[in-house]
Amino acid sequence: MNFDIAVMQVFNGVSLFTILLLMAIGLAIVFGLMGVINMAHGELMALGAYMTYLAAKFFETHLPNWMGVYLFVAIPFAFTVTFVFGYLLERGFIRFFYNRPLDTLLATWGLSLILQQAYRSIFGAQEVSVPLATWLAGAWEPTSGIQLPLTRIFIIGLTALVAIGVYALLYHTRWGLKVRAVTQNRAIAGAVGINTDRVDALTFALGSGLAGIAGCVFTMIGSTNPGTGQLYVVDSFIVVVFGGVQSLIGTALSGFAIAQSQTWLEYLISGSMARATILLLVIVVLYFRPNGLFATRSRN
Amino acid sequence: MTEFNRRRFIKTGGSAIVLGAASAGGLSPLTASAQGTVKLGLLHSLSGTIAIAEASLVDAEKMAVEEINASGGVLGRKIELVIEDGASDNPTFAEKARLLIERDKVAAIVGCYTSASRKAVLPVLNQTKGLLYYPTYYEGQEEDKHVIYASQEATQSVIPAVEWLAREKGKSFFLVGSDYIYPRTCNKIAKPTIVKAGGKVLGEEYAPLGHTEFSSIINKIKAAKPDCIYSTVVGGSNVAFYKQLRAAGLDGSKQTLLSTVVSENEIEGIGKDNAVGYYACMGYFQSIKSPENAKFVKAFKAKYGADRVIGDPMEVAYNCVYLWKKAVEKAKSFDVDKVVAASGGIELNAPEGLVRVHPTNHHVAKKVRVGRARPDGQFDIVWESPMIEPNPFPKL
């Protein structure tokens, strides 16, 4: 392997890491902090992707001169729609299933099927094509042999912003303090006057909104169809579980480990074998550390 | 005579029996409608993951049926459609095929898209003596006396495509596919063909179905520097593959990428900008210039809207209905055995040109074309093969 290819491989590893992190961060909040196994998380990503599609269509027909910046409208739009949808979902559906993990699993799986069929009825079974802003097409070439796709650079930057934002929100705001308090002990948190219902709803909505952002940027590298979410949800769960539920840092580090090993294994052996190997590694690690790489210690 | 079908019969229950007996003069519901019409089953995934590719086939089939009915039907009978949803689930396909044959007594079924769904339906066809027209290009390695395979099997597209690449674009190849039977069989055929054409295979890669991360495979392609990339990546993966190829600078100008699974329908999802300049090898392209195709495209757009596009499997689905009609008329019977026996040698002037059912192996002889994707999502046809006889069990 020559130097150029090695540089691109490292870049690919970093890129996949940010993609996995963006996928998993919303799930880490919903599953990790709230303990809700949301099988419909992928469909929330698909919702974000479809909102991006709608935004692109809107710009194409009404503001063709502004197509270059539509993404900066699409991202907040996708976030807002999925955030509101997540909020309503929590209030009208999810909250009836707290402390019933198996029921949640089935209910949200059913929800994911319903959402998929809804997308199919509204947007059609065919894939929709989300146009790419011209300034994001192509690659940055620091030297003639190295091409770093601009879309991936954009995703790396955006994920960094989102991750820092989520960290700041959870660890440096009063609301974040409440979320962590509810996560650690719901009863006591309620007793000291935190409105746990409200915290639950907003936390779930935030997780959903982050899924919306992920769905939005994935239109740049992947496909958008009613089943798109299914492609991402399994990977997201693997990252969260492998990292240790309840640990955002764990999610980040597990995303990094999985991304690097996957890119390199894919390069050294074949794609299918790489995936099988990764899953095997995850199983081995979980066998020895059932709570994931970075489990928070607790007395029970 | 009063029409009523069995499904409504079941729904409305007892009252319908009285009504039915009165109006149909005591005939049983199964034969009541058989005098003036003949039933044809359509069995595709209208929901679930495969519906992306499969649902539009029904539109083409419906159009063929309407045309046939408008011009007098088959053997003087109007075709009555019974449409069932296979729901992207193979056991459901088998179950629905049984319903179509045993409950609805359809004369034939046009249906299935994936090989897995076809394989699931085969035992039912054999038990119930049904007949299936299969409209999708597939990997070959099969010949069932209850199936007419109306599209190109692997050798019919892979061999001419690879030979064309070696002749026109260069001798070194990289093979990329999704990890399942179609790509693996295609590449099994492609490899000796490449060697025979004086070329060499620099790499062969498979990504899991549904994979969306192609950066490492693209790096391998870059490191190998092939003249030609032969792709059999399918489904949503395809979209990711094309987008990431272009973003990584492999835009088809230095290397030629050709796929045997990307039709106009797939380009809709990949995005016209992302697909432009890449090649595909198909039996049918919407841009084929012939009076038959012009008429077909015009009728389709008039019926379903000007923005709809027609890909290879849709055209073959349309042909399937006509192939069945021709076989029935030659056999002068709807009986499955007689129709199958009459099928060999049938010729149809399809939108893609002449197709001819092979005398014995149930596949069709046809032409294939190589097209280059244009910015408008259509293909410029750059090469057309002579008639190619089907060879579902190639000796490699």
What was the pLDDT predicted at A115? 93
Q: How large is the C-alpha radius of gyration of chain B? A: 22
What was the pLDDT predicted at B84? 94
Q: Which of A251-255, B125-129, B147-151, B236-240 has the lowest mean pLDDT?
A: B236-240
Average pLDDT over residues A32-43: 85
Interface test mutation site (partner A, options B212, B262, B270, B310, max chain A beta carbons within 10 A): B212
Average pLDDT over residues A178-202: 88
Average pLDDT over residues A229-254: 84
When mean pLDDT is compared over A267-276, A280-289, B203-212, B299-308, the highest value belongs to: B299-308
Nearest CB neighbour to A127, from listed B179, B208, B268: B268
Predicted confidence band of residue A1 (pLDDT cuts 50, 70, 90): low
Average pLDDT over residues B246-257: 87
What was the pLDDT predicted at B356? 96
Task: Look at residue A141 and tell me whether its pLDDT is greater than 90.
Answer: no
- Asked if the Cβ–Cβ distance from B208 to A275 is below 8 Å, we say yes
What was the pLDDT predicted at A298? 57
When mean pLDDT is compared over A88-97, A220-229, B144-153, B205-214, the highest value belongs to: B144-153
Average pLDDT over residues A254-273: 87
Q: Which of A72-76, A116-120, A205-209, A271-275 has the lowest mean pLDDT?
A: A271-275
Task: Look at residue B38 and tell me whether its pLDDT is greater than 90.
Answer: yes
Give dist(CA B219, CA B169) in Å, integer. 21
Task: Look at residue A239 and tell me whether its pLDDT is greater than 50.
Answer: yes
- What is the tens place of the pLDDT at every residue in B338-375? 999 999 999 999 999 999 999 999 999 999 999 999 99
Q: What's the distance, Cα to Cα, between the start and end of chain B in Å?
A: 58
3-state SS of A104-154 is HHHHHHHHHHHHHHHHHHHHCCCCECCCCCHHHCCEECCCCCCCEEHHHHH
What was the pLDDT predicted at B2? 43
- Asked if the Cβ–Cβ distance from A267 to B216 is below 8 Å, we say yes
Say yes or no: B215 contacts chain A, CB-CB below 8 A: yes
Query: Which residues of chain B make contact with A132, given a CB cutoff of 8 A?
Result: 243, 271, 273-274
Say yes or no: B188 contacts chain A, CB-CB below 8 A: no
Query: Roughly what angle, to the nearest 10 degrees, separates helices A228-243 and A196-218?
Result: 120
**Considering only alpha carbons, which residue of chain B is nearest residue A7?**
B219
DSSP class of residue B260 equals: S
Cα–Cα–Cα angle for B199, B175, B177, nearest 5°?
160
**Considering only alpha carbons, which residue of chain A is nearest residue B308?**
A126
| Residue A121, min C-alpha distance to chain B (Å) | 9
This prediction has a pTM of 0.82
What was the pLDDT predicted at B13? 42
Query: Which residues of chain A make contact with B54, given a CB cutoff of 8 A?
Result: 125
- Asked if the Cβ–Cβ distance from B216 to A228 is below 8 Å, we say no
Query: Which residues of chain A make contact with B273, given a CB cutoff of 8 A?
Result: 131-132, 137
User: With 0-12 CB in 10 A as exposed, 13-18 as middle and 19+ as buried, what is A24?
Assistant: buried
| Residue A135, min C-alpha distance to chain B (Å) | 11
- Taken as a whole, chain B contains a residue count of 396
- Asked if the Cβ–Cβ distance from B270 to A129 is below 8 Å, we say yes
Q: How large is the C-alpha radius of gyration of chain A? A: 20
Interface test mutation site (partner B, options A61, A127, A268, max chain B beta carbons within 10 A): A127
Residues A49, A215 contacting (CB under 8 angstroms): yes
Residue with more model confidence, B208 or B128: B128
Residues A139, B249 contacting (CB under 8 angstroms): yes
Average pLDDT over residues A219-244: 85
What was the pLDDT predicted at B35? 61
Query: Which residues of chain B make contact with A270, given a CB cutoff of 8 A?
Result: 205-206
Residues B361, B278 contacting (CB under 8 angstroms): no
Say yes or no: B299 contacts chain A, CB-CB below 8 A: no
What was the pLDDT predicted at B29? 39
How far, CA to CA in Å, does B232 sit from each of A250, A273, B214, B336? 37, 18, 14, 35
Cα–Cα–Cα angle for A234, A239, A240, nearest 5°?
100
What was the pLDDT predicted at B26? 37
- What is the tens place of the pLDDT at every residue in B14-27? 444 444 443 433 33
Nearest CB neighbour to A228, from listed B47, B179, B236: B236
Closest CA to B372 of B244, B276, B293, B234: B276
- Asked if the Cβ–Cβ distance from B212 to A16 is below 8 Å, we say no
Residue with more model confidence, B27 or B85: B85
Task: Look at residue B296 and tell me whether its pLDDT is greater than 70.
Answer: yes
**Considering only alpha carbons, which residue of chain B is nearest residue A151?**
B247
Say yes or no: B170 contacts chain A, CB-CB below 8 A: no
Task: Look at residue B246 and tell me whether its pLDDT is greater than 70.
Answer: yes
Query: Which residues of chain A make contact with B205, given a CB cutoff of 8 A?
Result: 270-271
